[in-house]
Every structure is written in C-alpha cells, then in structure tokens.
Amino acid sequence: MLKKITTAASVVALFALTACGGSSGGGSTTTGQSGDTITMGFAQVGAESGWRTANTKSVQDEAKAAGIDLKFSDAQQKQENQIKAIRSYIQQKVSVIAFSPVVETGWDTVLLEAKRANIPVILTDRSIDSDDKSLYKTFLGSDFVEEGRKAGDWLVANVSGPTNVVELQGTTGAAPAIDRKKGFEEKIAGKSDIKVVASQTGDFTRSGGKQVMEAFLKSQPKIDVVYAHNDDMGLGAIEAIKAAGKVPGKDIKIITVDAVKDGMTALSNGEINFIVECNPLLGKQLMDLAKKVVKGEEVPARVVTEEGTFTQEQAKAALPQRQY
C-alpha cells in the first residue's frame, strides 16, 4: 500500500500514523536502549523495481522473524522524503535506523542528528559518499563496480566487429548507477570496436527504460547492444525494441543487472542475453547486524553480498527455484 502514496504530505502523514501505532503498541514496547524489543526505522528508496519489491519483502519478513519492531517508509525515490523519514525515526527514538540512500551525497546533516541522538545507523543496499565514516556503523550490500565489470567482461567476450552500445543508467547520483557505469567502462576501455553511443537515465523503472529506449531507437542509426543498469529498464527496452519491429536478444543484444524473476524469464526466453546478479534478500543479514549494533557489539565496516551471473542456459535451469 505504501507505493500508492502520491505526495510528500501523505508520506509525512503516514510517518505520524506509524508513530502513533508504535506508541499504542502496549507498555511492554521499549526502545533498544532500555532492553527488550528492538525498534528499527527503515527508510526505503521506493518501489521502483522488482528488485526493490523483493528487498522490501525480505526486510519486512526478516524483521518479523527476528522479533524486531519495524517502522517502514517508502520515499518514492526522493531524497527529501528519506530525510524526513529519518528525522521522524530520530524523534520516535528508535533503537536503530537502517536505510538505502537513494543518492550518494547530501546525508551528513541528518546522519549527524542521528549520531547526536545516539541512534546507530546501518546503510543497506546502497552506500553514501561522505568523508565521515563515523556517521554509520556498517554498510551491507553488493559491490556495484564489480557488477559493472561482469557486464563489461561478457560484452567483450561475446561481440565482434564494430559494436554500438546504448546504456540505460539507473537513478542519477545513485551508487549503483555510478558504479555499474564505472565498472563497465573499465572493461571496455581500450576496445576500439566497442562504443557507447548514447547513455541516459531511465531511473531504474520499466517505463523509464522504455521511454529512453524509444528515443535512442529514433536518434541512433545503429544499435547493437543495450546495457541496462537493472532488469526493469531492460524489460522496458524490450517493449520499445519490439514496437520498432526489431527482435530483442537477436537484432539487439541486451545485458542487465539484478536477476529478478521477470528478468530471468526474459533471459530464458532469449529476449535478454546476459544478467549480472544483484541479491535483494538482505533482510536476514540486516537484522543480525541490527541486533549487534544495538548491543554495542563490533560489526565489520563493510559486508559484501555474494552474487553470480546468468547466461540464457543458466537462467533456464535456475528459474524454477527462483524465489523472487
């Protein structure tokens, strides 16, 4: 239901509701500082992709399983909404704040407020760009540069002759958009046959990927490969390619990142050529880390998620067991 919220005002109203819900939860509900129940304030990016939906479910399910009282908010991909959510969690004196920063920069002020209120912060999925490492306890998530490198390696090994690539970037300023571009560029640098002829953001959404791809198909005389920073944008691009009378996966090869069910289905159908995996099931590790930081125990500064890659054949084999 959270994804239905359309205005910042209603987001704020919802925080207020959440706050009331928390305090009417009975006298036994306490914050981490005083003991029993851990309360986590989680500021989610939004509901922009299949990855995000799976990530939200993982966080909600695992909070429940761990007996952690979760206050959840959806920022609709807006930094100002995430900042409001974090401030509201500080006011509510939650035991721990976890969030996935929509963009990398601009967090120091609000995180300093959390630090002064003695509320530990865990970064999950995406990291921030700040010199002050004392603003958060740990960062749990993927190595996005490495994901970009895997996409670049596959491209270099699987094309020959002059190859024009169009890139569908994630949300501007977001860690996975910056890093997936960087890792990919690193691997194609020096390959004179491979050219990125156009690169634009599709905001990690299916509709964004479709729109940008429609524009690319009009402006670019020759497109051989699409590199989409997530499955959803790749799926949007597939729609645009079909509408232009071309065959996705054949006339235009497609590389994406995530490996959510819809992406894996398109991969096994031959419409996508290669997917770099990015694991959204971070809930369990997040709750384990939260319990530790609330107790004041040491945690590693960085926890990297293990992930692989999928070819069309591998997707066919893996699809029946795919949970998300």
Given strand 96-99, what is the order of strands in its sheet?
69-74, 39-44, 96-99, 121-124, 138-141, 302-304
Spatial contact of 233 and 202, defined as CB atoms under 8 Å apart: yes
Site for ligand GYE in 182-241 (CB under 6 A): 204, 230, 232
Stretch that binds ligand GYE, among 45-53, 210-218, 245-253, 284-292 (CB under 6 A): 45-53
Q: Which is nearer to ligand GYE, 49 or 169 (CB)?
A: 49
Stretch that binds ligand GYE, among 46-54, 62-70, 88-96, 148-156 (CB under 6 A): 46-54
Q: CA–CA separation, 87 vs 196, rounded Å?
A: 41
Q: Which is nearer to ligand GYE, 38 or 266 (CB)?
A: 266
Burial class (CB in 10 A: 0-12, 13-18, 19+), 6: exposed
Q: Which is nearer to ligand GYE, 51 or 107 (CB)?
A: 51
DSSP labels for 137-186? SEEEE--HHHHHHHHHHHHHHH--SSEEEEEEE-STT-HHHHHHHHHHHH
Centre a 10 Å sphere on the Cβ of residue 284 and count the other Cβ atoms it contains: 14
Name the nearest CA neighbour of 209 among 232, 176, 178: 232
Number of residues that bind ligand GYE (CB under 6 A): 13
Instruction: Supply the minimum distance, in Å, between the C-beta of residue 55 and ligand GYE.
Output: 7
Site for ligand GYE in 54-113 (CB under 6 A): none
Instruction: Supply the minimum distance, in Å, between the C-beta of residue 171 and ligand GYE.
Output: 7
Stretch that binds ligand GYE, among 21-29, 44-52, 150-158, 209-217 (CB under 6 A): 44-52
User: Is residue 125 near ligand GYE by the rule CB under 6 A?
Assistant: yes
Q: Which is nearer to ligand GYE, 98 or 119 (CB)?
A: 98
User: Is residue 52 near ligand GYE by the rule CB under 6 A?
Assistant: yes
User: Is residue 126 near ligand GYE by the rule CB under 6 A?
Assistant: yes
Site for ligand GYE in 149-178 (CB under 6 A): 176
Q: Which is nearer to ligand GYE, 62 or 258 (CB)?
A: 258
Given strand 309-310, what is the order of strands in its sheet?
194-201, 163-169, 225-228, 253-258, 274-277, 309-310
The two three-digit tokens of residue 295, written as one number: 């107790």
Angle at 107 between CA 105 and CA 113, to 5 degrees: 170
Residue 289's φ and ψ, nearest 5 degrees, are -65, -40
Among 51, 107, 154, 310, binds ligand GYE (CB under 6 A): 51
Among 48, 62, 69, 224, binds ligand GYE (CB under 6 A): 48
Q: Which is nearer to ligand GYE, 123 or 188 (CB)?
A: 123
Q: Which is nearer to ligand GYE, 38 or 282 (CB)?
A: 282
Centre a 10 Å sphere on the Cβ of residue 144 and count the other Cβ atoms it contains: 26
Residue for token digits 């991909």?
Answer: 77
Contact residues toward ligand GYE (CB under 6 A) are 48-49, 51-52, 125-126, 176, 204, 230, 232, 257-258, 278
